[in-house]
Amino acid sequence: MSHNVLDLSALELREAVASGELTAGEAVEAYLDAIERREPHLRAYNEVLADEARAQADQVDAQRRDGLPMGPLAGVPVALKDNLCTPFGHTTCSSKMLADFRAPYTATAVAKLRQAGAVILGKTNLDEFAMGSSTENSGFAPTCNPWDPKRVPGGSSGGSAAAVAARTCAAALGSDTGGSIRQPAAFCGVVGLKPTYGRVSRFGLVAYGSSLDQIGPLGRDVADAALLADVISGYDPKDSTSIDRPVGDFLAGLDRPVHNLRVGWPGEFFSDALDGEIRSAIEKARDLYKELGATIVDVSLPHSRIDTDAAGNLSSYAVACYYIVAMAEASSNLARYDGVHYGHRTDRPCDDILDLYSRSRAEGLGEEVKRRIMLGTYTLSAGYYDAYYHKALKVRRLIKNDFDRAFEQCDVLLCPTTPTTAFALGEKTADPLTMYLADIYTISVNLAGLPGLSLPAGVSAAGLPIGMQLIGPVFREDLLLRAGRMFEKASGISRLAPPMVQ
């Protein structure tokens, strides 16, 4: 029974619970059993909330017995990235700074999941404070890729992506500041949606880059991503950046093909930096869209151009712009972790309050977080603000303008999610710049506030998933998901299963 349960998508599982074919309690036990068997090889979870999940499942089953209305996620076991605040369990951001922290309130996106009947299985691992592209920056332990435990699952939402791929949750929430949902989705062979900035409330998401962060779903197929996106989207007065506009129903129109679809082909994203197998997979996707009646339109995104010098080193305006803006915002947001209000406080004797701050932060924060805070503080400092931060904001506007012009010619953009498939654990940790370039195809989407969708486009010769990315205009998640569904159905590439679950 448990094997069959784990094979069900979130949507199928919801239908099985609603029809009485399966109880929420049975679904939860199947997933808790899978976690017990697979988690030692994955380390996708920071905390498994078994008692909490069983209590929620019992509540769902009682509602069904009593004939009460069932939510759109009733009985679906879901995992949460551990930077989403919940009063149940801990909210650690995979940092020693918050190792014992219990949030006093619930993130709006999580509250919406609960209201929809979802069962929360636990909190998943991430790069500390969401700062990383491999989940190796976790303050606890790195997560492994379920396709190859010697490789990274991507980051920063690596725990969520690995758990979805390994069938230790039916779906999950992550956060995406520069690719942190889409890049691990590509590496783990699942679907990840980064919604338009302002589409999903950030209330209760521990802030990294406040003008870039967005919460989004990870699922096994496009329908699961649409199902969760329907639930978590919408205006929230608790978030000043939340947009008050209708959401619609992403799932209802999902299987309706987009007629006269215009697919943009951004030439700047197909430089020598791109792995040959990934290029081939994206070109096959382009050709499939043509067979489905789409028009392929060459477009230009000059300020997202990726250059390669004689030594093979990569560079991009978007990468430079992103790491100035994101680190400046991180410097500001992480100033609150001072060893006084909450979080880690040093036990060592201190001379004064500044010594207390310094010791507490030095002990509680990891190396990558310290690096980003220092770089961000530098770019915001007197004499450097105009040279770096202010100039980065101007480049950000140019990047946004490029996308605006592109969407005058096309409906969606088709491009890679990542320059390579999942790399080996430890391969890039000694060179932060190389690690930063793992997000070279995703960060411009955050800078422009656009929605982006990563979905599987195939498997490499080495047996690793290849992800393709669709980018849409602001607030056109519906169009993006329908275009993704078109490819998914026509290609048959869906619900990829890593060796550990086959």
What pairing do the DSSP bridges indicate for beta strands 215-219 and 262-266?
unpaired
Catalytic residue among 9, 81, 201, 444: 81
- CA distances in angstroms from 88 to 46, 66, 96, listed in the order given: 13, 26, 19
Counting every residue, how long is the chain? 502
* Phi-psi sector, 358: left (phi>0), alpha (psi -120 to 50), beta: alpha
Beta pairing partners, 194: 452
For the chain, what is the largest distance between any 2 Cα atoms, rounded to a whole number of angstroms?
71
Q: Which of 95, 134, 156, 157 is catalytic?
A: 156
The reply to whether 81 belongs to the active site is yes
DSSP per residue over 425-478, as a string? TTSSTT-HHHHHGGGTTTHHHHHHT--EEEEEEEE-TTS-EEEEEEE--TT-HH
State the residue for tokens 């784990």.
Answer: 6
User: Is 428 labeled as catalytic in the residue annotation?
Assistant: no
User: Is residue 290 annotated as a catalytic residue, yes or no?
Assistant: no
Question: Which one of the listed residues 94, 180, 242, 331 is annotated catalytic?
Answer: 180
Local structure of residue 269 (DSSP, 8 states): G
8-state DSSP, 405: H
DSSP-assigned letters across all residues of 315-363: EEHHHHHHHHHHHHHHHHHGGG-SSSSSS----S--SSHHHHHHHHHHH
- 3-class secondary structure per residue, 42-58: HCCEEEECHHHHHHHHH
Q: How many CB atoms lie within 10 A of CB 99?
A: 16
Strands annotated E in 116-175:
119-124, 171-175
Residue 386 DSSP code: I
Which active-site residues does the annotation give? Answer: 81, 156, 180
